[in-house]
């Protein structure tokens, strides 16, 4: 005992731990309290079945309250069979279909057709809204406020027909349920009052204990279930078919293989159906027994109302009250049994359909991206071109496209498909050159060392001639010579750092130079001098630039559209410059139109006159 107390004294019980353990114990106690009566009833029912195997036992282990009458000859011939999807089931479905749709052209078929059109419309609207959501997010990422507002207005406008379609689906489903109920009630009433069936049901055949419930509530519930079942089956099937088709087409357009994810989705759905079917309790029998006990409770109430005077004379209210309480307890036990079975079944169903399916969805989204030839942003998909020595390539397109290509060519990004021949002896020169720690000489020869420079057979005189090409020769005397060690990223200006990066290109003399806006802060005359010197040195240029003045130093054009498409062709500088000038001229002209129109409206107001070009101001 002392050892136990000593161990307990060493345990640290903070407030959070105590609360968690108390909650766990409370949940465990509640579970034991809930499941213990059910387990006891199940064990008791099995013992009763062994003692009296022929006694009728209900689904929850308690004996049936009302035994069906077996004096009818039809009942003696027929045996009780469990419901299933078999020939008898389809025969009953066909009989009901003939009742619900008596003619090819009928009100019910018209409502069903309108309901189907509404369901199809909602599916297409859902796909369109999903595409709008993607476009809205794209405008936010690209920081385009005007396009964001435009897409948001489209999203709000499409909400009007979308909400109407959703409301119409509810309306048509209720109308369809009411039409089905009307057909079933007419057929049931005709059958009920034909050949004195109403008398035979109550006095000569005990198979239908509560005809009033069957003719009213059961018919209503069946009609609503049929209408709701059609909606619940049609909408998911359409969603799966159309959404899968859209995703497969999108994946194929991006160069991805969609067969694997499609096969995975089908396998997961099939496995889920198998697991749920094997784990599912017999809810059909359970609900049928619940409906039977509800009907019997209503029947006992109606007996008391019909025989109230006799019961009052006999003073039998205590007996009738016990009978009512017994019937209600039987109904409550059955409902508790259904709830306890649904607890575990819904847990398994939610785990499979929410988490397993979501996990499979993430895998389906990841597989096309991982196995695609290009990258996820769509800037580069399948790109086939060849850059030979002596060619100078200009790269244009949306932001980031050229950088993706340079990262692939430099080996920074992996290639998941296709074949890539890397450029030999190439170097990358970014917009912001890296300034290392060291002397001025180290900045020019980076990443070489002084020993590497000596191995190349170069001296400081050669470095001075290189700085002369990029107009940086004055820095040697300004900063105190080649051996001066300063914080070069702060000492040099933006243009000087870019020219220092170009000096490295002339020092290393690679066969291919990957230039990413590397002279954007350099004056146009010095920039042209650098590019011409690079061409004269036999360096092939692959340039990303937005300056039209540099186009004349290139021979070919590689243009990306940002959606996976690309174009590789010979560059006609004169034609491209003329088209650019026309574009800029049109932009400047169109930019002044709103101001001119506003001024015209003001003049019309001052003069009290109208104009054929006047527009109504908001």
The secondary structure of 389-439 as a DSSP string is: TT--EEEESSTTHHHHHHHHHTTSS---SS---PPSSEEEE-SSPPPPSSB
**pLDDT band at 535; cut points 50, 70, 90:** confident
Instruction: Decide the pairing of beta strands 512-516 and 426-429.
Output: parallel
Q: Is 501 helix (H, G, I), strand (E, B) or coil?
A: helix
Structure tokens at 375: 């990258």
Q: pLDDT digits over 194-236, tens only? A: 888 888 877 777 677 677 777 887 888 888 888 888 878 887 7
pLDDT of 333: 93
6-10, 46-50, 344-348: segment of lowest average pLDDT: 6-10
Q: DSSP label at 217?
A: I
Q: Which residue has the tokens 């060291």?
A: 438
Contacts of 235 (CB under 8 A, 6+ apart): 119, 122, 123
pLDDT of 528: 85
Q: pLDDT digits over 126-173, tens only? A: 888 888 888 888 888 888 888 889 988 988 998 898 899 989 988 988
**pLDDT band at 84; cut points 50, 70, 90:** low
Q: Give the whole-angstrom CA distance, residue 476 versus residue 461.
A: 11
pLDDT of 329: 93
Torsion 421-571-553-399 (CA) sign: negative
Q: Give the whole-angstrom CA distance, residue 182 versus residue 177.
A: 9
Number of Cβ within a 10 Å radius of residue 455: 10
Number of Cβ within a 10 Å radius of residue 194: 9
Helix axes 494-508, 460-469, angle to 10 degrees: 120
Structure tokens at 388: 């030979």
**pLDDT band at 327; cut points 50, 70, 90:** very high
Q: pLDDT digits over 395-429, tens only? A: 877 776 666 777 777 666 766 656 666 666 677 77
Note the pTM of the prediction, 2 decimals: 0.41
Q: How remote is the C-alpha of 470 from its chain's centroid?
A: 53
User: Under a CB-based contact definition with an 8 Å cutoff, are residues 427 and 505 in contact?
Assistant: yes
Q: In what order do the strands lie in the sheet with 566-570?
A: 426-429, 512-516, 540-544, 393-396, 556-560, 566-570
**pLDDT band at 325; cut points 50, 70, 90:** very high
Q: Give the whole-angstrom CA distance, residue 407 versus residue 169.
A: 52
Check whether 61 has a pLDDT greater than 50: no
Contacts of 77 (CB under 8 A, 6+ apart): none
Check whether 4 has a pLDDT greater than 50: no
25-34, 142-151, 569-578: segment of lowest average pLDDT: 25-34
Q: pLDDT digits over 454-493, tens only? A: 888 888 888 888 888 888 888 888 888 888 888 888 888 8
Q: What percent of the chain has pLDDT over 70?
A: 73
Q: Is 514 helix (H, G, I), strand (E, B) or coil?
A: strand
Q: DSSP label at 63?
A: B
pLDDT of 332: 93
Burial class of residue 515 in the structure, from the number of CB atoms within 10 Å of its CB (0-12 exposed, 13-18 middle, 19+ buried): buried
Q: pLDDT digits over 423-447, tens only? A: 666 777 777 888 888 888 888 888 8
Instruction: Decide the pairing of beta strands 566-570 and 556-560.
Output: antiparallel
57-61, 117-121, 547-551: segment of lowest average pLDDT: 57-61
pLDDT of 421: 66
Check whether 253 has a pLDDT greater than 80: no
User: Under a CB-based contact definition with an 8 Å cutoff, are residues 394 and 554 in contact?
Assistant: yes
CA-to-CA separations, 136 to 132, 133, 155, 251, 563, in angstroms, rounded: 6, 5, 9, 21, 16
**pLDDT band at 328; cut points 50, 70, 90:** very high
Q: pLDDT digits over 263-297, tens only? A: 877 888 888 888 888 888 888 888 888 888 888 88
Average pLDDT for 558-585: 74
| Mean pLDDT (the chain, rounded) | 76
Average pLDDT for 332-343: 90
Average pLDDT for 48-66: 44
Number of Cβ within a 10 Å radius of residue 315: 8
Q: Give the whole-angstrom CA distance, residue 211 versus residue 297.
A: 14
Burial class of residue 518 in the structure, from the number of CB atoms within 10 Å of its CB (0-12 exposed, 13-18 middle, 19+ buried): buried
**pLDDT band at 336; cut points 50, 70, 90:** very high
pLDDT of 5: 39
Q: Which residue has the tokens 């410059």?
A: 577
Burial class of residue 512 in the structure, from the number of CB atoms within 10 Å of its CB (0-12 exposed, 13-18 middle, 19+ buried): buried
pLDDT of 54: 43
Give 114 or 365, the one with higher predicted confidence: 114
pLDDT of 330: 92
Structure tokens at 122: 């909602």
């Amino acid at each position: 005992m002392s050892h136990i107390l000593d161990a307990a004294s060493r345990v640290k019980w903070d407030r959070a731990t105590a609360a968690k353990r108390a909650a766990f114990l409370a949940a465990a106690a509640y579970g034991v309290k809930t499941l213990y009566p059910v387990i006891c009833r199940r064990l008791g029912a099995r013992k009763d079945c062994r003692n009296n195997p022929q006694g009728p036992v209900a689904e929850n282990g308690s004996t049936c309250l009302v035994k069906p009458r077996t004096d009818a000859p039809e009942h003696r011939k027929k045996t009780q069979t469990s419901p299933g999807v078999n020939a008898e089931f389809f025969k009953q479905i066909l009989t009901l279909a003939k009742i619900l749709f008596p003619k090819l052209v009928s009100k019910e078929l018209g409502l069903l057709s309108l309901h189907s059109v509404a369901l199809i419309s909602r599916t297409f609207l859902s796909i369109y809204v999903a595409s709008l959501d993607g476009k809205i997010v794209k405008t936010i990422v690209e920081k385009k406020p005007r396009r964001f507002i435009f897409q948001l207005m489209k999203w709000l406008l499409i909400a009007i027909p979308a909400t109407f379609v959703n409301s119409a689906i509810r309306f048509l489903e209720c109308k369809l349920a009411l039409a089905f109920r009307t057909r079933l009630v007419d057929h049931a009433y005709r059958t009920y009052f034909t050949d004195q069936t109403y008398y035979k049901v109550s006095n000569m055949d005990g198979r239908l204990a509560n005809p009033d419930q069957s003719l009213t509530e059961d018919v209503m519930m069946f009609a609503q279930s049929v209408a709701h079942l059609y909606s619940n089956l049609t909408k998911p099937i359409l969603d799966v078919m159309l959404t899968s088709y859209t995703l497969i087409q999108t994946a194929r357009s991006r160069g991805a293989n969609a067969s694997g994810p499609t096969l995975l989705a089908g396998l997961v759905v099939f496995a889920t159906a198998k697991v749920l079917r094997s784990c599912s309790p017999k809810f059909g029998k359970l609900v049928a027994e619940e409906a039977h006990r509800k009907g019997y409770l209503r029947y006992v109430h109606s007996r008391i109302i019909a025989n109230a005077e006799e019961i009052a004379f006999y003073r039998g209210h205590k007996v009738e009250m016990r009978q009512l309480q017994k019937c209600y307890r039987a109904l409550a036990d059955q409902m508790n049994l259904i709830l306890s079975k649904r607890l575990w079944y819904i847990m398994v169903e939610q785990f499979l359909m929410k988490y397993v399916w979501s996990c499979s969805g993430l895998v389906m989204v990841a597989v096309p991206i991982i196995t695609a030839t290009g990258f996820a942003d769509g800037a580069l998909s399948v790109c086939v071109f060849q850059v030979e020595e002596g060619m100078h390539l200009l790269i244009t397109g949306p932001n980031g496209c050229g950088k993706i290509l340079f990262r692939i060519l430099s080996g920074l990004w992996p290639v998941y498909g296709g074949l890539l021949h890397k450029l030999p002896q190439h170097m990358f020169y970014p917009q912001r050159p890296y300034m290392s720690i060291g002397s001025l000489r180290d900045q020019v020869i980076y990443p070489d060392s002084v020993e590497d420079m000596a191995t190349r057979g170069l001296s400081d005189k050669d470095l001075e001639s290189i700085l002369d090409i990029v107009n940086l020769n004055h820095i040697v005397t300004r900063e105190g010579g080649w051996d001066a060690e300063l914080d070069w990223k702060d000492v040099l200006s933006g243009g000087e750092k870019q020219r220092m990066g170009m000096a490295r290109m002339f020092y290393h003399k690679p066969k291919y130079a990957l230039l990413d806006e590397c002279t954007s802060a350099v004056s146009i005359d010095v920039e042209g001098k650098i590019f011409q010197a690079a061409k004269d040195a036999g360096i092939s240029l692959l340039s990303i630039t937005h300056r039209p003045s540099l186009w004349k130093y290139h021979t070919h054009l590689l243009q990306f559209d940002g959606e996976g498409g690309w174009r590789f062709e010979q560059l006609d500088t004169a034609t491209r410059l003329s088209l650019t000038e026309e574009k800029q001229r049109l932009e400047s002209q169109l930019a002044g139109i709103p101001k001119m129109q506003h001024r015209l409206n003001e003049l019309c107001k001052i003069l009290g006159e109208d104009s054929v070009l006047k527009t109504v101001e908001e």
